[in-house]
Amino acid sequence: MISDPRNSPFNRARAVSRLLLALIVFLLARFIAERSAHGFADSAAEPLLAQAMLAFMLLLGFAFLGLTQEKQTHPVAEQGFLRRTGWRGEVGLGIAFGWAMALLCLIPVVVFGALVVRFTPTLAAFGWLFVDVLFFSLATLAITVAFQGYPFQCAIRAFGEPAATLIMAILYGLMQISYPGANRASTAFCFAFGLLLGIAYLRTRALWIPWGIHFGWIAAQALLFGLPVSGSTAYSPVIQSDAYAPTFFAGGDYGFNASWFAALVALAAIPMLFRLTRELSFRYNAPVLVPGGIPVDLDAAARRQHESATRDETPAAKPLVQIMPVGASQAAAATNESWPKQTSDAPESHVN
């Protein structure tokens, strides 16, 4: 069996080193974004500015690594943002998938508890709603780029797809531990959610569906249902809700991200994701057929066969040889030339 040179120990070690470089870029970009946005502490736009800077620096930093380390010709597109046919539909599918997960988690809260909803339909509230939509789109974009983009691709080359998916899901779960109010349930949910997003990338080889799922999950909770997200209730300007249900379902003050039921929903959503992305997986995961053997001009062969089949089989007539009549003088000359001449040296015959 011929081993794949891409799986050699040297290439795996190089992929691990690039994964570590990507981790350094993520930490550095996060530090710079938070520090830079801190100058706008008195402005309510500080969170939005921080997420915009983080997403931009991650895209730029990983594109630089892809350009210099991987020799990529389109480093941003090769992170997973491919402008291919139907990419907007993939984003919409992901958003609908995340919204459906949030709705499924809300059902037991209403059945086994209560949901108190308050509305603030003012013009200013709808203005901040638009700002929060931008905030969540940028925040989920940054997380998607960091955990399902270039670092995930380096982990795949280093450890293979199954191990890389587990590793990135574990890192995503560990990152959430630093959030105030995080617990074992939130870590378990983030691990399951990270698995779901990693599988979404592997099924489509793009970041459109993972980004859509993450945005749909967060935005549905905060903006549509008015529930807390990771312990914060500052993201629901129009609708505010209080969930009175067991912590197993509602997650307490931390929200669905700390719900054991939400972790089960994330795991149960994986088979459904496989079903919904079946066509995309067939389209973008099909093996590339490399031609081999002797090149054959099929058009020329077909043309020769056609000419042979339609050619006239009647043999060409052979030219006739015409024998012309010969005159008397020409016949005598021919007769004299055909007999040998008598030489003068021959003895004369005398009749006595």
pLDDT at position 342 is: 47
Backbone angles phi, psi at 283, to 5 degrees: -75, -40
pLDDT at position 339 is: 47
240 token code pair: 């505010």
**pTM score of the predicted model:** 0.80
CA atoms 168, 141, 63, 279: torsion sign: positive
Q: How many CB atoms lie within 10 A of CB 115?
A: 16
pLDDT at position 144 is: 97
Per domain, the residue ranges of the chain are 83-284
Backbone angles phi, psi at 21, to 5 degrees: -60, -40
DSSP labels, 167-184: HHHHHHHHHGGGSTT--H
Please, what's the b/e burial string for 60-95 (b: 16 or more CB within 10 A of its CB; e: otherwise)? Answer: ebbbebbeebbebeebbebbbbbeeeebeebbebbb
pLDDT at position 350 is: 45
| Per-residue confidence in pLDDT tens, the chain, 352 aa | 333 445 677 788 999 999 999 999 999 999 999 888 776 656 777 888 999 999 999 999 999 999 998 899 999 999 999 999 999 999 999 999 999 999 999 999 999 999 899 988 888 888 888 989 999 999 999 999 999 999 999 999 999 999 999 999 999 999 888 888 889 999 999 999 999 999 999 999 999 999 999 999 999 999 999 999 988 887 888 888 889 999 999 999 999 999 999 999 999 999 999 999 999 999 999 776 555 556 666 666 667 776 776 766 555 566 666 666 655 555 555 555 544 444 444 444 444 4
pLDDT at position 45 is: 77
pLDDT at position 205 is: 95
pLDDT at position 63 is: 95
Q: Report helix, strand or coil for 153.
A: helix
Q: What pLDDT, in 10s, does the model give residues 85-109?
A: 999 999 999 999 999 999 999 999 9
Q: How far is CA 348 from CA 120, 234, 339, in A?
A: 156, 151, 20
pLDDT at position 122 is: 87
